[in-house]
Amino acid sequence: MEFTILFITILFISLIQIAAPFLVKRTVVFGVAIPYEQTNHPKVKQFKRRYAISTCFIALIVLLRFFILKQGSITETKLVLSGVVLPFVLILASLSLYFYFHYKTTKVKKSQHWFEGVKQVRVADLSVRLKDEMLPSVVHFIPVILTISIVGLTIHVFDQLPNQVPTHWGPNGQPDDFTTKSWMTVLNLPIMLFVIQIMFFGINAATKNSGIKLSATNINSAKRRQLNLRKYSSWFLLVVNILMTMLFSFMQLNLLYENLVSNSMLWITPLIFFILILGGSLILAIKVGSADSDLEGKVIIEETNQIEDVDEDQNWKGGLIYFNPNDPSVFVEKRFGIGFTLNFANPRGYFIIFLPIVIILLMSFTM
């Protein structure tokens, strides 16, 4: 199972990294804002091709290396360790390529004086809010009902549990690590789950209140992309919430009732969860990336109307980190990849994202 999960992970990361330059909106190339009319510039197209080919080559090497390790006499532990390290190798390699082409694109932009003599404008369309199909944030409290039920059940059977309770299960489905029974160790999983559910609620609420940024040069496509991003991200977040609630509840029930399910179910269930998450991520990428990007297939007119979007490169550190104290939005669309990223100048984002992560880490290390 470990090999299958890790191989699928590496393959998925590879495909996303290779396709990334073609999924982002046309007017952002490797984190650099460019005029709409320059999206067909030979250098821009060349940079995207070179990045995709280089990343594909690196991904093939990583996948081949992992497959060869599986065929050798390597132990299961070392195989898993390699499967964890290799995706990071792939991500670091693609990130290095990203920064290289980010520098090259910035250099071409400056040398060509692309934004000089061009009027930069911001587009606001109040009617687009009426078409926003993001789910109401309260739906993320629906899975909390199951979490509360699991907590109540745990309290009810606490006295019947053995003095040593399992905290980890091996590949064969058998527990291989135990700890002394206490309220904290027994309720650890439901409490973690509740913290995650609160975080999902905060993310959805903050995203719903964040601004919808449209393009002055491609309003209809930009509007469709923003609405798709918000709608499908909201649904994806709810699906992840429900799946995590089901998985954590399944694990908690297995802790409370020994031999509740077969050993095969103990490793099949996380695999199904993992596959569903990856499938949802792929659907999100396609649904969002199909608008206002190279996937749209729209022909770019080789002329300028002397109006462009505001060049916000100064607010993006390396094209990846957004820091704009003048923007009240907590989350904004990524410049490389699909989804939202945090406005690091807005302190509310730290409370929504990092506080729950700190709580979960503290609970993990204090068990």
Which of 82, 69, 64 minimizes the C-alpha distance to 14?
64
3-state secondary structure of 366: coil
What pLDDT score does 270 carry? Answer: 76
pLDDT of residue 251: 84
- Whole-model pTM: value is 0.86
3-state SS assignment for residue 177: strand
Number of residues written out for the chain: 367
Q: Please, are residues 207 and 340 in contact by the beta-carbon 8 Å criterion?
A: yes
pLDDT at 67: 87
Q: Are 285 and 339 in contact (CB under 8 A)?
A: no
Alpha helix (H) ranges present in the chain? Answer: 2-23, 42-71, 76-112, 144-157, 183-209, 219-256, 263-289, 347-365
In this prediction, residue 167 carries a pLDDT of: 65
Mean pLDDT by 10 residues, the chain (367 residues): 79 91 91 88 94 96 89 78 88 95 95 82 75 91 93 90 71 64 85 93 93 81 89 94 91 80 69 84 88 74 62 90 92 91 92 89 73
Those residues with Cβ within 8 angstroms of residue 78's Cβ, 6 or more apart along the chain or in another chain: 69
For residue 71, count CB atoms less than 10 angstroms from its CB and return exposed for 0-12, middle for 13-18, buried for 19 or more. Answer: exposed
Residue type, 51: Y
Cα–Cα distance, 64 to 235 (Å, whole number): 35
pLDDT at 46: 96
So what's the pLDDT on residue 258? 73
d(CA 305, CA 153): 66
Instruction: With CA atoms as reference, report the closest residue to 190 among 155, 148, 158.
Output: 148
Residues linked to residue 307 through DSSP beta bridges, in sequence order:
119
The pLDDT score that the predictor gives to residue 170 is 58
Consecutive H or E run containing 341: strand 340-342
Question: Pick from 266, 301, 290: which is nearest to 338 by CA?
Answer: 290
Q: Output the six-digit token pair for 154.
A: 């745990």
Distance CA 331, CA 342 (A): 5
Q: How much is the pLDDT for 75?
A: 77
DSSP secondary structure letters along 267-327: HHHHHHHHHHHHHHHHHHHHHHHTSSSGGG-PPPPS---SEEE---GGGEETTTEE--TT-
268, 270, 274, 277: CA torsion to nearest 10: 120
Q: Which amino acid is at 338?
A: I
pLDDT of residue 173: 53
